[in-house]
């Protein structure tokens, strides 16, 4: 499992983001989880749209281009919804609802690998 810390400028957005870059890990995503803890998230690569089927909580979804610039933000997406593909998106960062409130379209995110220990 590859983990990342995510920054927007000098602000830490998430401390523990799991990379989902394989078909099965992207397909499973956050389905069937009971919750996301503060600072947790999942980074779906490649992805340009999402669904929240079989989820039990709302999420913020940050849609990123190839340079990790925020193209679109879907805030507080409740369970059982679909966010259709967003043009120019290469990946999606899913976070606990409310986490993305300090992020705006146009912000560039930095992903720093975290060593598990």
109-114: strand order across its sheet? 70-77, 59-64, 91-96, 40-44, 11-20, 3-8, 109-114
C-alpha 109/C-alpha 107 separation (Å) is 6
For residue range 60-84, list pLDDT tens digits in order.
999 999 999 999 999 999 999 999 9
Instruction: For the chain, list the domains and their CATH numbers.
Output: 3-114 (2.60.120.1140)
Rg over alpha carbons for the chain, rounded to the nearest Å, is: 13
For residue range 14-60, list pLDDT tens digits in order.
999 999 998 777 767 777 677 888 899 999 999 999 999 888 999 99
Closest by CA position to 63, among listed 31, 23, 105: 105
């Amino acid at each position: 499992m590859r983990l990342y810390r995510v920054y927007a400028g000098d602000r830490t957005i998430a401390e523990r983001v799991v990379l989902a870059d394989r078909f099965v890990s992207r397909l499973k995503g956050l389905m069937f989880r009971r919750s996301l803890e503060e600072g947790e998230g999942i980074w779906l690569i490649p992805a340009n749209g999402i669904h929240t089927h079989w989820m039990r909580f709302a999420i913020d979804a940050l849609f990123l281009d190839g340079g990790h610039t925020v193209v679109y933000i879907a805030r507080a997406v409740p369970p059982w919804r679909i966010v259709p593909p967003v043009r120019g998106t290469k990946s999606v960062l899913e976070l606990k609802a409310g986490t993305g409130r300090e992020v705006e379209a146009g912000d560039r995110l930095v992903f720093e690998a975290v060593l598990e220990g």
